[in-house]
Amino acid sequence: MRKPGELRALTVDELRQEEKSLRKELFNLGFQKVTGEIQNPMRIRQVRKEIARILTIINEKLRVKS
């Protein structure tokens, strides 16, 4: 889990790539939850919050540009 300061140092493209990988992880975690194989159910909440944090930072960066 990256801190917001670390995320702000990344470019918008890098943030979108990070978001894409987190969404894949979230999909896999949901699949594991359904099949009963999930090791750490709290990871789902963590990943969702990380995605929201990344989207917030992307929006901040895009607002500053315009």
Does residue 42 contact residue 29 with C-beta atoms inside 8 Å?
A: no
Please state the pTM of the whole predicted model: 0.91
- Residue 11 backbone phi and psi in degrees, to 5: -80, 170
CA distance to 19, 30, 38, per residue, from 23 (Å): 6, 10, 16
Q: Where are the domains of the chain?
A: 4-65
Q: What is the pLDDT along the chain (66 residues), one digit of tens a residue?
A: 788 889 999 999 999 999 999 999 999 999 999 999 999 999 999 999 999 999 999 999 999 887
CATH class of the region 4-65? mainly alpha
Write out the two tokens for 61: 């960066």
